[in-house]
Amino acid sequence: MNNKPIFIAGPCVIESMECLEEVATELVRLNNKYGTNIIFKASFDKANRTSLKSFRGPGLEKGLQMLGDIKSKYGLQILTDIHESCQATPAGEVVDVLQIPAFLCRQTDLLVAAAKTGKIVNIKKAQFLSGSDMQFPVEKVRESGNENVWLTERGNIYGYNNLAVDFRNISDMKQFTSTVIMDCTHSVQRPGAAGGKSGGDRKFVPAMALAAKAFGATGYFFEIHPNPEIAKSDGPNMLFLNDFEKVIESLL
């Protein structure tokens, strides 16, 4: 990562190959311009959508094929999330980082299966846990034979349909791993607050990133999209692709 912060960026869910390629092209340009190594992120399945009617993605087989094509064509490292232990091995054959969703960060079988792939395991802190609580998910991965563990802060439940970020969690989680990432877009989410789907407020994303930097974050996670207003998942909290460079510049 050449001593620069880790950046993870991409659309919430795989919508189309055209969308993936548009985002990947911009990430390659930014990597070349700033000497960064932005990891491309997209989900093949969003298994925790609010409504049964919500778009989930192309599924495991098709989604991994698309992510593999992006990796081959653009030379980007890839991150995707898994929701079931049976997804770990096939996903690990394609991607560089396996992400454990926040709601599932205590699921032992999922953590063990991810660990056994040998890939980096990025565990997102649950909305109902403290930074100190993340000692135990980290131990599950390490005791399963994998030392490559990252942790990600994404806010805590604050009443109904809202999140708040206690940035002290970043410092607390650095007790357990040297790589602590700030999820700058999901932390401005308003879960379930948009009539059967999540709302959010992307205007706070740049400030979330800078606040996390002040508290010692070593990486930053952003969901970005060419046009979040028509995105099929997490649109209100995603950054416009064209605005991403300004945020990168502020952090470098």
Q: Which two tokens stand for residue 102?
A: 């926040």
For the whole model, what pTM was predicted? 0.93
Q: How far apart are CA 5 and CA 74, in angstroms?
A: 21
- Res 172: pLDDT: 98
- Res 197: pLDDT: 46
Give Cβ neighbours of residue 230 (< 8 Å, ≥ 6 apart).
none
- Res 1: pLDDT: 43
Instruction: Please identify every stretch of the chain with a pLDDT value under 50, giving residue numbers as ranges.
Output: 1, 193-194, 197
- Res 53: pLDDT: 80
- Res 199: pLDDT: 65
pLDDT in tens, 45-80: 988 877 888 888 899 999 999 999 999 999 999 999
- Res 91: pLDDT: 98
